Amino acid sequence: MKRLLNRNVVLCVMVLGCSLRAEVISLAADADYFTDNGLDNAVASIQYPSAEQFNGKTYIAYQGPHEDPYVCVYDHAKQVWQGPVKAGVSWLGLTPDPTDHKEIDNHGKPALFVDSKGYVHVVFGGHGGLPMLGENLYGTPGSGRQIHAVTKNPEDISSWEVLDNIDPFGTYDQILKMANGDIYLFYRHGSHRSDWVYQKSTDDGRTFAPPVSVIKHKPQHNDPNTHDAWYAWFCEGKGDTILAQYIYHPCLIENHNKQRVNVYYMKLNCRDGSCENAAGTSLTLPVTKEAADRLTLVHNSGTTKVNHGICRVDETGAPHMFFRSSEGSVRYTRWLGNGWQAPTPVTVPESKGQDGDMIVESPKVVWLILKGSRAGGGTEVCWWKTTDGGLSWNRESTVIASSDKGYGLSALVRNPFVVGEADNPLARGQFIVEEHDYASPSVYRKLSFWGGAGFVVRPEAEAQVVHRHIEAEKELKGKVPEGTPYQRRRARAAANVGED
């Protein structure tokens, strides 16, 4: 791509003529971000995908002002951007936008998919669903409302409509597209103490079947104050299968805790809805804590806190995964056919706050894109590689690093647009980067699109949009009801307001 520029490269040009001078000015006006109106934690791997390529265009969804879903699109042939366009109204939002990030919910970030006809869909806005929405049959309500919106026309993000065809009690939306065209929407059906479920569509998302529970919440028999709860990540497997990595959250009803322990794995067979562990032993859905411990345990972390990572599959169908550990670094493991390989650290122990995604090139060659703490402060985003099945890891390249900025990553772009390097894993390794300037009190973030060889640039005047929103927000101060963030969210939901 002619317009891919890496911000780590400094271009030095000696200008000898007016025409050359004009070209340099044009280049200087390009930014390596495509928008600056991402709100707080605007993208994350657990709400995914954030981006998908269809018919030569990459569609990108993220959390923007008022926690509403925004969409941009990049046309690779024309090398032009469109958007951001607001795709819907989130019930999690506050009007005006808060200036303190602690008041931002961040659980309703959009997940995106493009159907076979080119219509763009986003699912967003849920953190369990407000009690006013009715009875939650699979868990406990929370806040917001899970909403499904779609473009009114194919390959056109300018106008949207809501499809009322999914349960409102959801959070951590994850959208899978199977080879036969079926769409699976996985999510936690409520707040902490809720089942993980999926809803299936066989008609490009126009209708969805009722929820099917796959991981069960319940109070512990000997300790009703401790509730079995979960965090999960689902992805397409080999053939007509779906893989799941999940971790356990012993959720305390009183004196709520943030403990997460143990790592688990299972596989769903889409043809008949059955489920099995890595060894092929059948599981009964929904999987309980007792069954998970007995049949699906990958790593017993004891009292060490872990958090979800990513699970992917190799050409043989064997799963590979990484997960985060409070001991520092991430841990990688893979299924060897008769057991799980002992988890090995990928990065240095000092790397905190890691997240990212994985490309499995072969059973023994695996790439991880990870963000992590940088020695001396700040954050870096780097590619790590193993060629011996995860026994050792090397830092292959640094995408971006800064001593005074933090970064967030999306999961990888689905079906990335690749030119001439189809066999190069890094050319397929495309994702969205969120930038947080530590020195700035702003809750708005710049978002960049890593296109495999560099950041896809955009004219800076097009990318700078948040200043208009900030000016509009100033006029709202003193004109909205006072109250706690929860009360203001309820008022916004009841009135279905939030249009800029």
Residue of 48, 62, 172, 332 with catalytic role: 172
Write out the two tokens for 486. 């929860």
Q: Are 322 and 371 in contact (CB under 8 A)?
A: no
Reduce the secondary structure of 154-203 to three states and give it as a string.
CCEEEEEEECCCCCCCCEEEEEEECCCCCEEEEEECCCCCECEEEEEECC
Q: How many CA atoms lie within 13 A of 379 on its CB side?
A: 19
127 is catalytic: no
177, 195, 337, 354 from 237: Cα distances, Å: 11, 22, 16, 24
Check if 436 is active-site: no
Tell the residue number behind the tokens 């560099």, with chain if given. Answer: 454
Query: For 10, which DSSP code?
Result: P
Asked if 247 and 311 touch (Cβ cutoff 8 Å), the reply is: no
DSSP track, 380-445: EEEEEEESSTTSS-EEEEEEEEESSEEEEEPPPPBS---SS-TT-HHHH--EEEEEEETT---SEE
Across the beta sheet with 366-373, the strand order is: 355-360, 366-373, 379-386, 394-402
144: left (phi over 0), alpha (psi -120 to 50) or beta: left
**Residues 6 or more apart in contact with residue 469 via CB below 8 angstroms:** 37, 65, 97, 500
A 10 A CB-CB count for 178 gives: 17
Catalytic residue, chosen from 107, 121, 127, 320, is 107
Radius of gyration of the chain (CA): 22
Helix (H) or strand (E) holding 23: helix 18-28
Q: How far apart are CA 184 and CA 193, in angstroms?
A: 22
Catalytic residue IDs: 107, 172
